[in-house]
Amino acid sequence: MRTQVAIVGAGPAGLTLGRLLENAGIESVILESRSRAYCEARIRAGVLEQGTVDLLREAGVAERLDREGIVHHGISLQFDGERHRIPLSDLTGGRSIVIYGQTEVVKDLIAAREASGLPMLFDTPAESIDLERGIVRHAGNEIECDVIAGCDGFHGVCRESVPAGALREFTREYPYGWLGILADVEPSIDELVYAHTEQGFALLSLRSPTRSRYYLQVDHDEDVDRWPDDRVWEELQRRTAVAGWTLQEGPVLEKGVTGMRSYVCEPLRHRRLFLAGDAAHIVPPTGAKGLNLAIHDVRLLAEALIRFYERGDEVLLDAYSDACLRRVWRCEHFSWWMTTTLHLQPGGDSFDLQLQRSQLHYLTTSHAQATALAENYVGLATV
């Protein structure tokens, strides 16, 4: 098979890139090691930045998002038993976030590509990549291409195909994780609540008007079997309690523990291979940046490829890595800052706790600090 761009990975990054290239008349083939059913059921992020929503609209895949997505104009920070609202839209000139699960974004993108009839190969793991010749091998077959887009996640084959020593890697491991549940119960909150307590962090979120998504800080290697439903609800009630408000409980549909890390590799390009999304960088989920960073990567990559195929101009391709990394490191810092501000630090003491409380008080009383949080949370427009 011969194509212009081989896209390895059918997550949000690979599928969005395929859609943007399709709209520009550029050929692509998408390979995915997992089944379609797996990709469409994989529960991940659910907070879309303003820029992500705008791009999906421009790409023509936001009809259901606009119908079912839940627009939020603020978030709340809870500490010392009180909640303080950060008015995101008021502080950012009207920009907002939309609650719409990554699973739903993937479904929309797959449906759009299926309707176009373009190649999309599920259950087809890329086995090796020839960066010299531009070949992706799978199950005894070869896809020859001009460009390879590595959108295959942290454990994928694309980054591993780069010769040793060609990439610099930066890693931060966190000693805690998130125990997350999806509950079949109407959310008890109108907007996300980030709670800092002496028992640990908690997050109140949602996936739809009838499904709630809640998280608790636990050890990074916590055994989920130690958390029966009753214990989860008891701890959520304890960490999120405020006067005059009640957390409604319901059947738990899914439960799991996610470890937390920060990771960046540089550069994001090696010859004809371009890395995007989790193949290039990981952020802890506290700042809701993972999916949004992936979409921003492929926005830049699509612009560069369109310019290359339309004009023969490689300027944007050459600038791709640096352009991505400016935003990656901004989001890495924001996610690290949110994480360390809100989570109890193992081995920490009362001094650490007081510093966190002071920072949270400053955030909720300083217009400048609240604006900085809001700008980063809804997605900086110029980085």
The whole-number pLDDT of residue 383 equals: 73
Tens of pLDDT, residue by residue over 181-192, are 999 999 999 999
pLDDT score of 382 more than 80: no
Among the listed residues 100, 176, 194, 309, the single catalytic one is 194
Residue positions counted in the chain: 383
Say what the pLDDT of residue 45 is. Answer: 76
Distance CA 297, CA 24 (A): 17
Of 19, 21, 106, 96, nearest to 288 (Cα)? 96
| Spatial contact of 142 and 136, defined as CB atoms under 8 Å apart | yes
pLDDT at 297 (0 to 100): 98
- pLDDT, residue 361, reads 98
DSSP letter, residue 62 = -
Burial letters 15-36, b for 16+ CB under 10 A, else e: bbbbbbbbeeebbbbbbbbbeb
Q: Tell me the average pLDDT of the chain.
A: 96
Compute CA distances 323 → 55, 327, 329, 354, whole Å. 17, 7, 11, 38
Catalytic residue among 12, 72, 138, 215: 72
| Beta partners for residue 258, in sequence order | 178
For residue 44, is pLDDT > 90?
no
| Tokens encoding 9 | 């990975």
For residue 377, indicate whether it is catalytic.
Answer: yes
Domains of the chain: 5-71+96-171+261-341 (3.50.50.60), 174-260+345-378 (3.30.9.10)
Is 125 catalytic? The answer is no
Q: Which of 196, 289, 296, 343 is catalytic?
A: 289
Closest by Cα among 320, 318, 337 to 376: 337
**Catalytic residue from among 174, 215, 285, 296:** 285
pLDDT band at 348 (very low <50, low <70, confident <90, very high): confident
Out of 174, 176, 215, 377, the active site residue is 377
**176 has catalytic annotation:** no
> Using alpha carbons only, how large is the chain's radius of gyration in Å?
21
Task: Give catalytic status of residue 107 as yes or no.
Answer: no
Q: What angle do CA 88, 94, 97 make, to 5 degrees?
A: 55
Active site residue 320: no
